[in-house]
Chain A
């Protein structure tokens, strides 16, 4: 679980989204891909490994070395920009499929299209896709998606299918991130879990800020730590009782804010108020 989370966050680490987009718009498109959808099913672990070993990829496509360079160059600067998850998936899976090196481009150009345009232009994009399917794919930055066997060849349904698969790929990543979600099947339940997780995290932040701010509260409400499956690093999830005023050597300016004036008599009243609020 930890490792998977790690790989997830490693995924997040790379890439300025804007840089990717600018790169991707330059990319010439490739031929069709049956493996288009297979790309998206690539698990993040593999994707990260591929990202780490860019030398293995054949630079057939002249942009692929650029691709592979930018992740490495971005790496040291990635500190505040840890999360640019989505672009990673297509890029990483690109480097896998050297046999069809041009595969990278439809995914990327497609995701670029999706990001930069929006639902308004979607119909135009679909039309361009159906047109481009017939033309030679080398010059135009259009997506070439071939319908799989036994499925509708309508351009609309192809686009919908591609969109659905992208969403499913992201949902899989979410599933790995949120604890306890990997066993659940079905989007609705997973979303439920995610919502619960976000809510509990927000509640924890609330109570955490309360803990930080309070003083000699022995009757303090304990934060809802019991419902978390994810353990914070090296911390024991015990409620903190009786936090007195801070050590002046610790962080001096925070003294006035974080120390509680214990002479206040309305302590019990406040606890009730806080309980209501939480």
Chain B
């Protein structure tokens, strides 16, 4: 548990870490969704391609949008981009930096999905089983063209009655899976080499501008957080003053109605101070009724001026 707590605290320590954490979680979620998804190739001539390629490309797009939505920085970047200039200039380098880092993080989950799909092989087998050359495989070589299309389309379905004992089916499957896994590993290798080169060579190109952009994008993030916290704090104080003022005005009204002499100062202490002059069931009811029917105006000027 200690280990988990440390990891949790590390990720919460700054917002970049939080975003990296979310990125990682989304990548794990994408693997989990793929493994729990019940892939079921239709094994029909035109539907196979649509289904196979659909499963390979539509979920990554959805995951990409999820990555953008869950990333707080994307909202910040848009706000910074669209805000009026005002008295603070806009730095396009900062906006570009934020955009780039958002895109990088959002791309991780889709790439993980595509790589896992290719390494597993089912999608490609389903999509391209009708496109293999039947001459290469003994079982399909001497069949009429129409029939061969039907048969090849059924290759991904192991339990299909026509395909159950067909050895050529396994040959086509293995062939396509080999291509699929080769493609998967190649893509993984290219991406990792690209990431490695990008990180290694970055300091060679304009490191100063990068440091500045990173600093100011962190600053915008922190400024936004502090503004929200200050607003919360302010509204709490505002509400407190408003309510105290309300209770005071009720006390004044009660005094007015009872034509009482002003209280001899025993010192407002303890319980009486908390009672704020409301000491009767009907007074309490009246206070609650006033609170509902006639909320006081949002103006604590009289209170602060006292």
Task: Tell whether A pairs with B.
Answer: no
